[in-house]
Amino acid sequence: MNNKNEIENWDIIINAGSSEKHYWFDLWRFRELFYILSWRDIKVRYKQTVLGTLWSIIRPLLTTLIFTIVFSKIAKLENPSNAPYALMVFAGMLPWQFFSNALSESTNSLIGNANLITKVYFPRLIIPASSVITSLVDFLISFVILLGMMIYYQYVPSWHLVFLPIFILLVFFCAFGFGLYLTAVNVKYRDFRYIIPFIIQFGLYITPVGFSSEVIGDKWKLLYALNPMVGVIDGFRWCILGDEIHLNSFLFSVVVIIISMIAGIRYFRKMEKSFADNI
Amino acid sequence: MNKLIEVKDLSKSFLINHEERESYAALRDVISKKAQKIFSFSGWKASKITKEEFWALRDINIDIYQGDRIGIIGRNGAGKSTLLKILSRITAPSKGTIKIKGRVASLLEVGTGFHPELTGRENIFLNGAILGMSRLEIKNHFDEIVSFAEIEKFLDTPVKRYSSGMYVRLAFAVAAHLEPEILIVDEVLAVGDAQFQKKCLGKMEEVSRNHGRTVLFVSHQMSAIETLTNKALYLQNGRLKNSGPTPEIINRYLHDYEETTEIKNYKQRSGNGKAKVVKLEVQKEGIRASAVKQGDFFNVIIGIECKENLPMDISFVLENIKEQSIYCTQLSDLQLPLQVEDYVEVEIPVPLSCLRSGDYLFSMAVFRPDKSEFYDTVLHFPLINIEGMRIIGSFPVDARWGDLYFPINWKVNPKL
């Protein structure tokens, strides 16, 4: 019935059961919505809470202080880094805080934007993606503190610093990959969000934030790198402090991030169609 | 002619979970049910979830051409909104194919994505982007939008401080300046004051008529459908019952509507039949109506026919959609029971003008004054639709708001 000419004329073809063909093109077309939603989240965050900015400074600082006291002074863990212990902790705290904020923000993002999802079409991927951006702003603010701390300790960063954007991107993908999966699950099982704080707290202990990953024995290094944040935090310390990096476990973490990212996107896209019905 | 939308064998089904009351599943429930299954000796008995497939839309075939202005009519639950949602790609169809040419903008709610903390100016950009406008388009229309909404003075005030009227005006103003090839509009005109509604209708008419835009429009207000559209689709229980020129389809719909809302055909009733309710309608200023505006008073006319000379008393209960009674009155409250020979018509001036917008039912009974016999009882008859605000502030008005609504001026006492 349809000759070839006619088929090519249609802009959108929706077939029951099959996924959309122009998904990635659509995502590009809706980039302005992505900017504006990110802008909204940032604006609202720093408008609503007067403490917004202050909060993103105080939290990592206090945690660093406590971790330094607990791990360095009380537990007397060794410090393989050339930098002071507090600086080492903070260099790990930065990506961790970025990751954990981004993860919890993106997990709640779909539910938080339910009114959009049930009323307008756009590639849903935009919502968790823009929520991660807010955490990026927090990260940048805390980064300024790191600079302050470096001046205080009179520590000159290594030239590796130029690679930092790559590692920031890695954290972004890591949080985004897991966040996509979690937020899709969260739509279906609404009580899932109560598990997130637990996951984050648990993650903090199995991630080398308060200590260096050098503490872990060589035998276990690769297994430890199954936690993708291990490689990322090592990378941050390599960038900022010029610490040694265990290349194999770093690459292993990168592979884990890539796999989780692909799996996250696939799962999200599979569930995406039913969001409006379930939310 | 240029075909813009082609819908083929479209169906949409939902699974309704009869056990669960909440609309979403909780992981805890799923886990506990699995656990019950494992541990209970009676096997499957412990978890009996009856899932029922509900077809919101069935085998819909539509062709829509450029410049068509299409009204979609049907009763509540006929599938109108589901159809719009599928066409605007918010939800996916279960069966069938849809082909669309051109840019689609859908306006299923006024002020989607408005953020109360942001200012009017910021919300124009936000809402515009959500509705699919580019930044440049919004910039070009910005002054028009602001003057259409009449909010020049409050442009830099957070919208949480807006009155509900201002809020709605701003939201509609943004939407009115959309320039897609296909515009999909759900019942959003039921908001705002009458004057602004008129302005919006005028704007929509201008857009669709003069710019050759294709419009799909759902409304319960037949007058709006009539002025805005030239073709209509009539949905009934998820199926496309009729389509054609608007006036013809509206007539057919109204005819059906009257038939099903005719008390003679109503099934949920009992009684010994010595007397029978044969006429039941809502009147406003002497004219039959199936819907009235929020804030209007209305009368209920009841005609009762009987075969012999009977003493009778009548009680009347107004109910919300959940069949809970809101207001109850009985003839013998204030006057003597009737003595009826063959036919009597009574009129109840319902003293409520403060019903929230929505559908209301009623139940009634005609009985012997000593209650020894019930001649006729009618249960949960769908009586009337109150049209009114669908959104107050930024919240949709639904059952959570309770059955009554009156706008009041909150008094804020200054700190001493």
Per-residue model confidence as pLDDT tens digits over A64-93: 888 888 888 888 777 777 778 888 889 899
Other CB atoms within 10 A of residue A74 CB: 8
Q: Which of B99, B103, B134 sits opposite A32 (nearest CB)?
A: B134
Q: Which of B25, B93, B130 sits opposite A14 (nearest CB)?
A: B93
Greater model confidence, B209 or A228: A228
By the 8 A CB rule, do B366 and B304 touch? Answer: yes
A92-117: average pLDDT: 90
| Start-end of H helices in chain A | 4-9, 23-29, 31-48, 52-67, 85-112, 114-117, 126-153, 164-188, 196-206, 221-224, 228-241, 247-272, 275-278
A228-251: average pLDDT: 87
Query: Which residues, including other chains, have CB under 8 Å from residue B233's CB and lie 6 or more apart?
Result: B62, B70, B71, B72, B73, B240, B242, B243, B249
What token pair was written down for B30?
A: 């799923």
**Contact yes or no for B98 and A14 at CB 8 A:** yes
Chain B: nearest CA to A187, how far in angstroms? 8
Residue B34: its H or E element: helix B27-39
Give the residue from B199, B186, B105, B214 showing the smallest Cα distance to B147. B199
Q: How would you classify the pairing of strands B291-293 and B374-387? A: parallel
Taking contacts as CB-CB distances below 8 angstroms, the residues of chain A near B118 are: 40, 43-44, 47
Residues of chain B with CATH 2.70.50.60: 268-401
Residues of chain B with CATH 3.40.50.300: 63-257
By the 8 A CB rule, do B151 and B170 touch? Answer: yes
Q: What is the dihedral of CA B7, B12, B130, A51, to 10 degrees?
A: -170
Say how far apart CA B303 and CA B281 lie, in whole Å: 9
pLDDT computed for residue B45 by the predictor: 44
CA-nearest residue to B109 within chain A is A119
Greater model confidence, A237 or A222: A237
Say how far apart CA B372 and CA A93 lie, in whole Å: 81
**Residue A248 per-residue DSSP state:** H
pLDDT computed for residue A3 by the predictor: 45
Chain A: nearest CA to B275, how far in angstroms? 47
Query: Predicted confidence band at A179 (pLDDT cuts at 50, 70, 90)?
Result: very high
Chain A: nearest CA to B156, how far in angstroms? 14
Chain B: nearest CA to A275, how far in angstroms? 8
Work out how many CB contacts closer than 8 A connect A with B: 114
Taking contacts as CB-CB distances below 8 angstroms, the residues of chain B near A13 are: 97-100
Fold of B268-401: Coagulation Factor XIII; Chain A, domain 1 (2.70.50)
Give the residue from B168, B8, B21, B16 showing the smallest Cα distance to B77. B16
The residue whose two tokens read 């840019």 is: B103
Give the residue from B134, B79, B53, B9 showing the smallest Cα distance to A31. B134
**Contact yes or no for A13 and B122 at CB 8 A:** no
**Contact yes or no for A118 and B90 at CB 8 A:** yes
Q: A215 CB near a chain B CB, below 8 Å?
A: no
Q: Which of B99, B100, B117 sits opposite A48 (nearest CB)?
A: B117
CA A174 remoteness from chain centre: 5
Say how far apart CA A161 and CA A154 lie, in whole Å: 16
Question: What pTM value is reported for the model?
Answer: 0.73
Classify each residue of B100-127 as buried b or exposed e, where b means 16 or more C-beta atoms within 10 Å of its C-beta.
bbbebbbbbbbbbbbbeebbbebbbbbb
Q: What is the dihedral of CA B355, B360, B363, B369, to 10 degrees?
A: 20
* Torsion sign over Cα B184, B190, B192, B198: positive
Taking contacts as CB-CB distances below 8 angstroms, the residues of chain B near A43 are: 117-118, 122
Q: How would you classify the pairing of strands B310-319 and B325-330? A: antiparallel
Give the residue from A270, A252, A237, A273 showing the smallest Cα distance to A90. A237
3-class state of residue B300 by DSSP: strand
Mutation target to probe the A interface, by most A beta carbons within 10 A, among B130, B187, B398 is B130
A219 burial level (CB within 10 Å; 0-12, 13-18, 19+): exposed
Q: Which of B95, B118, B125 sits opposite A16 (nearest CB)?
A: B95
pLDDT computed for residue A212 by the predictor: 83
Chain A: nearest CA to B40, how far in angstroms? 24
Q: If you classify domain B63-257 with CATH, what class do you get? A: alpha beta
Q: A36 CB near a chain B CB, below 8 Å?
A: yes
Give the residue from A105, A92, A139 showing the smallest Cα distance to A37. A105
Residues pairing with B304 in the sheet: B277, B344
| Start-end of H helices in B131-233 | 135-149, 164-176, 194-210, 222-228
Say how far apart CA B196 and CA B158 lie, in whole Å: 22
Complex confidence, ipTM: 0.82
Taking contacts as CB-CB distances below 8 angstroms, the residues of chain A near B25 are: 188-190
Q: A15 CB near a chain B CB, below 8 Å?
A: yes
By the 8 A CB rule, do B376 and B366 touch? Answer: yes
Query: Predicted confidence band at A260 (pLDDT cuts at 50, 70, 90)?
Result: very high
Q: In what order do the strands lie in the sheet with B95-100?
A: A12-15, B95-100, B3-17, B51-65
What are the average pLDDT values for consecutive 10-residue runs of chain B, which has 416 residues? 87 70 61 64 48 83 89 85 89 89 82 86 90 88 89 89 83 81 76 68 75 83 81 90 90 78 76 86 80 83 88 90 85 84 89 82 89 87 75 58 79 80
DSSP string, B212-277: --EEEEE-S-HHHHHHH-SEEEEEETTEEEEEEEHHHHHHHHHHHHHHHT-GGG--SEES-SSEEE
Say how far apart CA A126 and CA B366 lie, in whole Å: 60
A90-104, A264-278, B39-53: the lowest-pLDDT one: B39-53
**Contact yes or no for B90 and A117 at CB 8 A:** yes
Interface of B with A (CB under 8 A): 11, 14, 24-28, 30, 85-86, 88-104, 106, 108-109, 112-113, 115, 117-118, 122, 125-126, 129-132, 134-135
Query: Which residues, including other chains, have CB under 8 Å from residue B6's CB and lie 6 or more apart?
Result: B62, B63, B64, B97, B98, B99
**Contact yes or no for B97 and A13 at CB 8 A:** yes
Q: A21 CB near a chain B CB, below 8 Å?
A: no
Query: Predicted confidence band at A95 (pLDDT cuts at 50, 70, 90)?
Result: very high
pLDDT computed for residue A4 by the predictor: 44
Taking contacts as CB-CB distances below 8 angstroms, the residues of chain A near B88 are: 120-121
